[in-house]
Amino acid sequence: MSSFTQFNAGLSVELLPQTRTSLWQKLFGQPEYKVTKTFQYYVNKKDENLYVAVPQGFVTDLATIPWAIRWLLPPNGKYGQAAVVHDYLTDGCAITKVTAHGVVNVYPTRAEADKIFLQAMVVLRVPKLTRLTMYYAVRLYSMIVRKDRIVAKDPKLFILADPTV
């Protein structure tokens, strides 16, 4: 595990019943899961009190993987918990920062959320080729499809140290 970051618990999810109605969604859509146990991911050193708290009940598809390559990279691979953190942040949820003056919610940009995803995969010991492939896939998606729209309400509040890749 990285000395700079860590998870405080493992990932616990349950498969939700399929609610998709179109044939396309039934054949090619990804199943959804509900987080059954809250967990925290410490973005920097644990004693710096900067963490993502993914709550019980959060709904995710784990890693969003195109159906044609799910045999190679399944949605629930070793990187699954990092993908849940990424989903949580890209849904517009905050990182919690505990300061001497209280708790502050910090909203990362999409690029910062992608870096946190990469950093979390390092913590989970995802093989380098896999984590870099997944990281660059989410960056490409961010730049082309989403045009790297900012998730953050105030992106200047959050500074992420470069993760060890």
pLDDT tens track for 80-137 = 999 999 999 999 899 998 888 888 898 988 899 999 999 999 999 999 999 999 999 9
1 in any annotated domain: no
Res 44: pLDDT: 76
pLDDT band at 23 (very low <50, low <70, confident <90, very high): low
Q: Domain count of the chain?
A: 1
162 in any annotated domain: no
Q: Is the pLDDT of residue 150 over 60?
A: no
Q: b/e string for 33-68 if b means 16 or more Cβ within 10 A?
A: bebeeebbbbbeeeeeebbbbbeeebebbbbebeee
pTM (predicted TM-score)? 0.82
Res 109: pLDDT: 87
138 in any annotated domain: yes
Res 161: pLDDT: 44
Q: Could you tell me which residues come within 8 angstroms of residue 157 by beta carbon, excluding any fewer than 6 positions away? A: 104, 106, 107
Q: pLDDT per residue over 29-43, tens digit each?
A: 788 899 999 999 998
69 in any annotated domain: yes
Q: Range of 45's domain? A: 6-157
133 in any annotated domain: yes
61 in any annotated domain: yes
